[in-house]
Amino acid sequence: MKLDVYIRKNLRDFVLEVEFSVRDEIFALLGASGSGKSMTLKIIAGIEKPDEGRITLNGRTLFDSAKKINLPPQVRRVGYLFQNYALFPNMTVAENILFAAIGTRDEKLFKLKENLARFKLDGLENSYPHELSGGQAQRVAFARVLASHAELLLLDEPFSALDSHLKWQLERELNEVLKIYGAAILVSHDRAEVFRLADRVSVINAGKIEALGTKHEIFQRPPTKAAALLTGCQNISAAKKISDDKIFAEDWQLTLSAKKIPDDLKFIGIHAHALESCSEAGENIFPFEIIGVVEEPLNFTVTVRAAENALPLRWQVDKNFRDKNGEVFLCLLADKIIFLRG
Amino acid sequence: MDSPLVITLKTSIAATAVTFFLGIFFARAVINLRRFKGIADAILTLPMILPPTVVGFFLLLIFGKRSTIGKFLLQFDVSLVFTWQAAVIAAVVVSLPLMYRTTRGAFEQLDRNIIDAARTLGVSETKIFWQIMLPNARFGILAGTVLAFTRTMGEFGATMMFAGNIPGETQTMSTAIYAAVQANDYDLAFQQAILLVVLSMIFMVAVNFATAKK
């Protein structure tokens, strides 16, 4: 599978302009709601039209504004999985799958049987969509796409409509489906889901791809503020490089030591779980005032600040944490500091 | 000689049958328009807003003996004005906006994702229309048909202008009531009026019963 995308479209609040390639892999678009990620999927599927661009799939041109090519969605062979599953309400499960299946009558029936079994839908053939649970409806939607001619799967927030306890099992099932399929684009705002399912991740913010790389690269070293926030970094401060090995974190009112500080540094970030408590002052170790403690299911989140007029940091600490008042020495390890461009 | 009751039913059924198909056709056509959607919608809705006498007057102008269409039809010895066919045409024109609007609303209320899903699965637009849009909009289409039928039953103004009030030919119940009152025959008018009320009631209750079951 080989997909190359360059698209540009004027939206109400920003210009969507993205360029990426997908090979035999699970490629994720991670972005906040309204960042343009769902629109990107719709444009690839042919449901929405970009102002300009070029989309090719396995050597076929799906869209090319320069050559005035715009294939209708019917012949693009791109399977789209909608958030609300979009099953045909007037058709049974079997009819839904058969309606999308291709080939002769026998081939269609074979595909129906194969996919009913694969998605554990035996016995539900004659049920209507409104009689299905959320999980079952999603499995029917998968079965329907797999029976069709799709060469690529587009998944638009596949689990957003499900309760969290159902999610895990379905996500594991989806993982199996994706292994069969080999190629998919996943759109999500849920970083954990993206990390578990995807191979490569692109972070999309206000219509632009801000970061693109393997999931480990992106999650460990997000290059921008938006990427840091989306990958779960809770502590971000505006920052200035003041010498080769010193940074001043303006929001936190801290001067930090670090190595290989880039010149275009605008922000720095550090994960809440990367802060460590220490017994005394030292390099990158500062006294912090505890200003709030929130108990979470498995840990405490403690808000601390370095000075009266400084913005607080969040520190994630285990359940053994006792000292809930007063002061604490915390270390911002140099190699845990994330440099952000803006 | 057909009674006003028979003429009313014949006219209404024939007109509703025509309106049913035309309304669905125009609903689909207007939805798919990229430009002039507002103008097309206004033209199709106009007969609902105009006084029926104005609609009838225009029909006279369009199909009358001096019009192009009228002259063309005369070559085949056909004259529509003051015929039963004219009553059907008048009923179609006044009931079409109801059918068209209700059906269009039903189409537009369908979940867009369902139609887009069918498209990405490779289903042709024709198949999408017949097997997804129509079946899933069936209650809206039924409602439009009922509205159109009741509108044709009560049609008066356009029919008077274009089809006249010829007993046994174009005299429907509503025009018969008017004629009876004109002739000071209140008993006849009352009898026809009650019949019309009972008929409409039976029809509406039957429809409500049929749709409530689902």
* Residue A50 and residue A241 in contact, taking contact as beta carbons nearer than 8 Å: no
Averaged pLDDT, A117-122: 89
Cβ of B120 within 8 Å of Cβ of A80? The answer is yes
Of B44, B140, B141, which Cα lies nearest the Cα of B92? B44
Note the pLDDT tens digit of each residue in A125-161.
999 999 998 889 989 999 999 899 899 999 999 888 7
Which residue type occupies B149? F
Report which DSSP code applies to A282: B
Q: Which residues in chain B touch residue A70, judged by CB atoms under 8 angstroms apart?
A: none
Query: Phi/psi of residue A211, each to 5°?
Result: -155, 145
SS3 A236: strand
Closest Cα in chain A, distance from residue B45 (Å): 30
Averaged pLDDT, A169-183: 83
Greatest alpha-carbon pair distance for chain A in Å reads 77
Lowest pLDDT segment from A160-174, A217-231, A243-257, B128-142:
A160-174
SS3 B139: helix
Q: Which residues in chain B touch residue A150, judged by CB atoms under 8 angstroms apart?
A: 120-121
Report which DSSP code applies to A35: S
Strand partners, A269: A236, A338
Half-sphere exposure of A161 toward its Cβ, with a 13 Å CA cutoff? 16
Q: Which residues in chain A touch residue B120, judged by CB atoms under 8 angstroms apart?
A: 45-47, 73-74, 76, 78-80, 150
Q: Which residues in chain A touch residue B130, judged by CB atoms under 8 angstroms apart?
A: none
Report which DSSP code applies to A322: -
Of A255, A248, A211, which Cα lies nearest the Cα of A229? A211
Note the pLDDT tens digit of each residue in A55-96.
999 999 999 999 999 999 999 999 999 989 999 999 999 999
Greatest alpha-carbon pair distance for chain B in Å reads 67
* Cβ–Cβ pairs < 8 A, chains A and B: 66
Averaged pLDDT, A238-259: 93
Residue B212 has pLDDT above 80, yes or no: no
Cβ of B116 within 8 Å of Cβ of A82? The answer is yes
Of A100, A164, A189, A84, which Cα lies nearest the Cα of A132? A84
Averaged pLDDT, B157-176: 93
Q: What is the distance between the alpha carbons of residues A189 and A209, in angstroms, rounded to a whole number?
A: 14
Residue B214 has pLDDT above 60, yes or no: no
SS3 A22: strand
Instruction: Provide the pLDDT confidence category of residue A170 given band limits of 50, 70 and 90.
Output: confident
Instruction: Provide the pLDDT confidence category of residue A178 given band limits of 50, 70 and 90.
Output: confident
* Residue A206 and residue A36 in contact, taking contact as beta carbons nearer than 8 Å: yes
Note the pLDDT tens digit of each residue in A14-43.
999 999 999 999 999 999 988 999 999 999
Averaged pLDDT, A271-298: 90
- Residue of B110, B112, B115, B121 to mutate, testing the A interface (most A Cβ within 10 Å of its Cβ): B121
Cβ of A80 within 8 Å of Cβ of B136? The answer is no
Smallest Cβ–Cβ distance between B122 and the set A83, A84, A102 belongs to A102
Q: Which two tokens stand for residue A68?
A: 């005035």
Q: Looking at chain B, which residue has its C-alpha nearest residue A72?
A: B119
SS3 A56: strand
Helix-helix angle B138-153:B4-32, to 10 degrees? 140
What count of other Cβ atoms lies within 10 Å of the Cβ of residue A235? 23
Half-sphere exposure of A326 toward its Cβ, with a 13 Å CA cutoff? 5
Q: How far apart are the first and last CA of chain A?
A: 34
Cβ of B117 within 8 Å of Cβ of A84? The answer is no
User: What is the pLDDT, as a whole number, of residue A18?
Assistant: 96
Query: Phi/psi of residue A255, each to 5°?
Result: -105, 120
- Using a CB–CB cut-off of 8 Å, the residues of A that contact B are 42, 45-47, 72-80, 82-84, 86-90, 99-100, 102, 144-145, 148-150
Of A119, A84, A120, A86, which Cα lies nearest the Cα of A100? A86
Cβ of A74 within 8 Å of Cβ of B111? The answer is no
- Residue B210 CB partners (closer than 8 Å, separation 6+): none
Residue B62 has pLDDT above 90, yes or no: yes
Closest Cα in chain A, distance from residue B107 (Å): 14
Instruction: Provide the pLDDT confidence category of residue B213 given band limits of 50, 70 and 90.
Output: low
Averaged pLDDT, B157-178: 93
Cβ of A77 within 8 Å of Cβ of B121? The answer is no
Q: What is the distance between the alpha carbons of residues A97 and A95, in angstroms, rounded to a whole number?
A: 5
Instruction: Provide the pLDDT confidence category of residue B141 given band limits of 50, 70 and 90.
Output: very high
Which residue type occupies A132? L
CA separation, residue B50 to residues B56, B97, B145 (Å): 10, 11, 21
Instruction: Report percent pLDDT > 90 for chain A.
Output: 78
Lowest pLDDT segment from A207-211, A290-294, B63-67:
B63-67
Residue A324 has pLDDT above 70, yes or no: no
Helix (H) or strand (E) holding A185: strand A184-188
Q: What is the distance between the alpha carbons of residues A15 and A207, in angstroms, rounded to a whole number?
A: 6
Of A169, A162, A122, A157, which Cα lies nearest the Cα of A143? A122
* Residue B110 and residue B134 in contact, taking contact as beta carbons nearer than 8 Å: no
CA separation, residue B211 to residues A89, A120, B17 (Å): 18, 35, 20
Averaged pLDDT, B73-84: 88
SS3 A105: helix
